[in-house]
Amino acid sequence: MFKGIARSNVMKNLTAKAAQIAKIPRPVMIRGERGTGKELMADYIHKASPRADKNFVAINCAAFNDELLNSEIYGHEKGAFTGADSRKIGRLEQASGGTLFMDEIGNMSSSFQERILRVVEYQKFERLSGTETIDADVRIVSATNADLEEMMEEDLFRRDLYDRLTFAEIQIPPLRQRREDVPHLIVHFVRELHLEIPNIVPRTFKRETVEQMMDYHWPGNIRELKNVVERVYLYAEENVILPDSLPREIGGTTFAITGDSFDEKVDQFKKKLIFEALDSARGNQKQAAEALEMTYDQYRHFYRKYRES
């Protein structure tokens, strides 16, 4: 998705960097806010690598508890635990010869971190309750939006694992820092919609509509943009999509305060202030904090909270 769609200089340079990294058979860490396209970048690295003809297997580490995550990654033998009625091949074996993408690695427990470190170091593992040592011929690409440096300071993430997983690092900037990509992403998502639903009525976005979308700060990044494009395209009453068709917070007239309770509505307004200040400060969190007359630590607290909401 990145190549040919990302027109901003920062993304062109990032894509070129990813293509170079792809040729080197070492682990890659992808970092960025939620919705920036970390899995898409991982897939791009896989397809640009010598492993492109093998499997690309993805897993979200935040979606499983420790026991299930171990089973999903390593597989298990029959009888390994209650309900294990047969042998299961894990993601490592499924990705043999290819790429294993591990998302949300900041959610891994300390015991799981210790076990995956052995895989990264020695390229070997055993299924749960298994005695056979299996070669792990995989390239691991990991991703997170967590502050791993802070987690390491608090002993919540192993520094040696971080070092092993970060032979190369790619930081994907948020959409608000590369707004010139927005028109091309809109076109891309519209094309995807027509491939998925061939009989939908063709529509066009008016220039003013696109400009308003470029002015928005997109706290949900590409994922949020895709959702907005799909909603307005499918539900617009006219064949030309006008600014009025956009959600209120994007149309620039009234911020759409969501939530049922007073506290939820206040929380949404705080989120608006945090990201508008960051937008005005061109992504500089220290300047955004000063503009809101907050300490840097206070701003970082709210930024982390609303970045993940």
d(CA 103, CA 118) in angstroms, rounded, equals 18
Is 184:8 a contact under the CB 8 Å cutoff? no
Distance (Å) of CA 220 to CA 119, 225, 239, 261: 33, 8, 27, 22
Quick one: angle between helices 182-196 and 221-235, nearest 10?
Answer: 60
Is 34:308 a contact under the CB 8 Å cutoff? yes
- Kindly report the backbone phi and psi dihedral angles of residue 240, in degrees, each rounded to the nearest multiple of 5, phi listed first: -105, 120
**Per-residue confidence (pLDDT) for residue 87, from 0 to 100:** 84
**Per-residue confidence (pLDDT) for residue 309, from 0 to 100:** 57
Looking at CATH, the fold of the domain delimited by 9-173 is given as: Rossmann fold (3.40.50)
What the block records as the tokens of 194 is: 């027509």
**Per-residue confidence (pLDDT) for residue 198, from 0 to 100:** 85
Per residue of the chain (309 residues), what is the pLDDT tens digit? 566 667 788 999 999 999 999 999 999 999 999 899 999 999 999 999 999 999 999 999 999 998 889 899 999 888 777 777 888 899 999 999 999 999 999 999 999 999 999 999 999 998 888 888 898 899 999 999 999 999 999 999 999 999 999 999 999 999 999 999 999 999 999 999 999 998 888 999 999 999 999 999 898 899 999 989 998 898 887 899 999 888 877 864 434 455 567 777 787 778 878 877 876 776 788 888 888 888 988 888 888 887 655
**Per-residue confidence (pLDDT) for residue 236, from 0 to 100:** 82
Looking at CATH, the fold of the domain delimited by 176-251 is given as: Helicase, Ruva Protein; domain 3 (1.10.8)
Count other C-beta atoms under 10 Å from residue 174's C-beta. Answer: 22
**Per-residue confidence (pLDDT) for residue 93, from 0 to 100:** 94
The predicted model scores a pTM of 0.76
**Per-residue confidence (pLDDT) for residue 258, from 0 to 100:** 54
d(CA 118, CA 97) in angstroms, rounded, equals 18
Residues 6+ apart with CB under 8 A from 304: 147
- Domain chopping of the chain, boundaries: 9-173, 176-251, 262-307
Count other C-beta atoms under 10 Å from residue 181's C-beta. Answer: 23
